[in-house]
């Protein structure tokens, strides 16, 4: 049976979540940590315009959050299905059933994502917007906008995948000799608990490998 796989699009979104964390999330974290001592800031048309620019710049992040909300139960369901397939479906039919389940899950995502995405984008001005207006002065919002609309910051965000890749490549290379025996030991322990006896000369667990490189952006 072929294992369930995560789409390349999702793999790219999951790359380097710390290095590519949406700036609006950092803004909200800062607001939360300073809320106790900060006095509520008065709103104004100028602040509303600045907040609108922030939300517009962070719309891709808002949409990605919506996609994660939609995907999470689907991925959990696929994991449960993958575990159940060997016991529930004849071996010669497992590949076909796995493909059907993947198609069902993809259909659910294609149907549900636009609904959640549009709702998230519509709700952002009435949820995130007031929070930003309350916790930040007009000058602070101007500073946030200047950072978010900076070509240098945009370039830095785009470097997230490259930064993660070079780190992972080196970590995998440097820890392979230590981790590979631990993986084999874990594999043997789990097999023993399941009452599975490895055949003599069975192949060793493969060494950790770095994830495949994402296609180059055009």
pLDDT in tens, 152-197: 988 988 898 899 899 999 998 999 999 999 988 988 888 888 777 6
Residue range 36-78, pLDDT digits in tens: 445 567 778 999 999 999 999 889 889 999 999 999 999 999 9
pTM metric for this prediction: 0.59
Asked if 171 and 211 touch (Cβ cutoff 8 Å), the reply is: no
169-174 contacts at long range (C-beta below 8 A, 24 or more positions apart)? 169/210, 172/208, 172/209, 172/210
Residue 203 sits at φ, ψ, to 5 deg, of -65, 145
How far is residue 206's CA from residue 180's CA, in Å, rounded to a whole number?
Answer: 7
């Amino acid at each position: 049976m072929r294992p369930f796989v995560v789409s390349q699009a999702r793999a790219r979104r999951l790359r380097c979540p710390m290095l590519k964390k949406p700036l609006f999330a950092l803004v909200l974290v800062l607001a939360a940590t300073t809320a106790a001592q900060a006095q509520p800031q008065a709103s104004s048309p100028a602040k509303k315009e600045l907040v609108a620019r922030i939300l517009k710049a962070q719309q891709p992040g808002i949409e990605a959050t919506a996609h994660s909300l939609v995907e999470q139960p689907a991925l959990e369901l696929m994991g449960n299905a993958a575990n159940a397939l060997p016991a529930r479906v004849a071996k010669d039919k497992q590949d076909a059933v796995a493909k059907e389940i993947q198609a069902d899950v993809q259909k659910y995502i294609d149907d549900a994502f636009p609904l959640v995405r549009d709702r998230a984008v519509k709700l952002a001005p009435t949820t995130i917007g007031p929070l930003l207006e309350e916790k930040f002065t007009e000058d602070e919002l101007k500073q946030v906008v200047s950072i978010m609309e900076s070509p240098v910051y945009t370039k830095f965000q785009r470097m997230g995948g490259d930064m993660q890749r070079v780190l992972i490549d080196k970590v995998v290379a440097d820890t392979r000799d230590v981790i590979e025996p631990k993986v084999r030991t874990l594999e043997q322990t789990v097999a023993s608990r399941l009452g599975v006896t490895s055949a003599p000369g069975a192949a060793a667990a493969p060494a950790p490998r770095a994830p495949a490189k994402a296609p180059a952006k055009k």
